[in-house]
Structure 1
């Protein structure tokens, strides 16, 4: 039965069954509602049965859906246990590792990577630091973090950089603006609105300010914020537009609290950074692998539609926008 070999579909089916709502399950799965609906349709097609009955308030399980749900939990637990046991047998890593992460990537990328890592390496204690790209760069430089996810435009000379993705910067607006991810907007359009932006120094802010400056204008900043969550709240309440990444807006987009569109050709690159003068521990190397694998999986599965993989691309001495 081919569909059950795709554990991602099975996991997402369980989320739908628990939520009894495609919209709510899509948020929990970090996918768009249309994508999740297509996954459920594909699962039904592979199994040759209807699993869900759609209705105005959500979905309910059919008799076949109830039967699948009854077995799905055991199947997924068995799969997780096999992966964990194989990983533990292959590598007895222990100790501590500190990971720095940009706040906007925390839930979308880093939390799933850390969850996967600790299942495979129960002997390792993980400490997660959170802040701006520049703050996390400094945490690696002064030894508070063993590795960090940073924007590739940050100065890279003290570090070994491992680029893994580049993504389009998005204009984030209230729902009534009807922005769409498949229909780019222009920098000029963004510049016509009051903006809610991250306070400088910030990589996204630097990219935006530089692009506007080249056109002889500047951002009309109504509110400066310290994190993406606050920016999304203010956009939803109609204070203005913002500029962030897909990861920062993914949950709000799924709940239709905001709308978003790529801004011309503006992009930002992401890399894993370690200090050149300190050899990375086995735990740090394994955690870096976990972060990169989650990123590549999201890109491959279409859950990070605004990004493309940079795995294997050598970084320059000084980072720049992709």
Structure 2
């Protein structure tokens, strides 16, 4: 068995026709048929059932087709990675990042990336998770930081786990000491949260439901500054990733702190049908390094150790 035979068989199985595969491969049909027959003889199984309308893969043929497609994808990926070793990082890399995380690390990552790769351009797009996921699938961004990685069309790398904190109106003077809250003590309070669909909100509501609680959400808005202004005015509290609000609490502008047991993951995600470029891999390394050195206190962001 060799890659040529596998490629011939794969094309016939995909098109379900020797004649169509022959035209697509630019090879005479008798030569194509002979190569497939040699492959069947070598494996000792029938791979295709020939009929008047074309050819259908047998159970064994379907199994081989799945394996062959994986082999060709692996060959493609390895070739791209080897070629990238001699490539330069240039062109435009489009990156989507959520507002909460962007305020903590985006400036540092951007500066480091531009310093190392002056021939490259970063096109940064801020948005909530559902917006960034849609942009990724629409090929409007190359990479995006998301809180879920369960779509077969997307491939992601685990970046970190992050605590959820609560932002409360300031009640007393002086610098506060963040304390740990329980979700049960926040459930009855008026909350100001992002609109649905939003992965963090869905996660919070799911955890509340698991505990038999129902959250009292009185205002919905995706405007981060508006949320903070409403909390400052005493209208309600807000639950959010620590990267977006911990600094406000430590500076004495708000009360608040981590919520016990609420932890979610972040992933750097690309489309699964796109081979990672050198620019993507280098940006990922800089992003993980920035997260590892994050100024978020109390181990609010936990980065997996290097492999």
TM-score normalized by the length of structure 2: 0.66
After TM superposition, give the deviation of residue 180 of structure 1 in Å: 4.3
Distance 1:171 1:125 in 2: 36
After TM superposition, give the deviation of residue 91 of structure 1 in Å: 7.5
Aligned match of 2:163:
168
The 1:145–1:262 alpha-carbon spacing in structure 2 relative to 1, beyond 3 Å, is same
Distance 1:91 1:304 in 2: 40
Larger radius of gyration: 2
Structure 1 residue runs of 4+, over 6 Å off?
A: none
The 1:91–1:237 alpha-carbon spacing in structure 2 relative to 1, beyond 3 Å, is farther
After TM superposition, give the deviation of residue 197 of structure 1 in Å: 0.5
Equivalent pair of 2:288/2:303 in contact (CA under 8 Å): no
Question: What do you get for the CA RMSD once the two structures are aligned?
Answer: 2.2
The 1:109–1:284 alpha-carbon spacing in structure 2 relative to 1, beyond 3 Å, is same
The 1:302–1:223 alpha-carbon spacing in structure 2 relative to 1, beyond 3 Å, is closer
Aligned match of 1:83:
none
Aligned match of 2:216:
220
Paired residues for 1:126-145 under 5 Å: 126-145=122-141
Aligned match of 1:272:
268
Q: Please, which runs of 5 or more residues in structure 2 have no aligned partner?
A: 1-85
Number of equivalenced pairs: 220
Aligned match of 1:95:
91
SS of residue matched to 1:175? coil
Equivalent pair of 1:165/1:311 in contact (CA under 8 Å): no
The 1:180–1:268 alpha-carbon spacing in structure 2 relative to 1, beyond 3 Å, is farther
Distance 2:151 2:122 in 1: 24
Equivalent pair of 1:232/1:252 in contact (CA under 8 Å): no
Distance 1:230 1:291 in 2: 28
Aligned match of 1:64:
none
Distance 2:196 2:306 in 1: 30
After TM superposition, give the deviation of residue 157 of structure 1 in Å: 2.0
Equivalent pair of 2:159/2:303 in contact (CA under 8 Å): yes
After TM superposition, give the deviation of residue 229 of structure 1 in Å: 2.7
After TM superposition, give the deviation of residue 274 of structure 1 in Å: 1.2
Q: Please, which runs of 5 or more residues in structure 1 have no aligned partner?
A: 1-89, 314-322
Distance 1:198 1:248 in 2: 13
The 1:304–1:184 alpha-carbon spacing in structure 2 relative to 1, beyond 3 Å, is closer
Distance 1:124 1:207 in 2: 36
Residue 180 of structure 2 corresponds to residue 203 of structure 1: no
Which of residues 280, 305, 308 in structure 1 aligns to 2:299? 305
Which of residues 227, 233, 236 in structure 2 aligns to 1:237? 233
Q: Give deviations 1:92-122, integer Å, cap 9, x for gaps.
A: 4211100011121112122221121011111
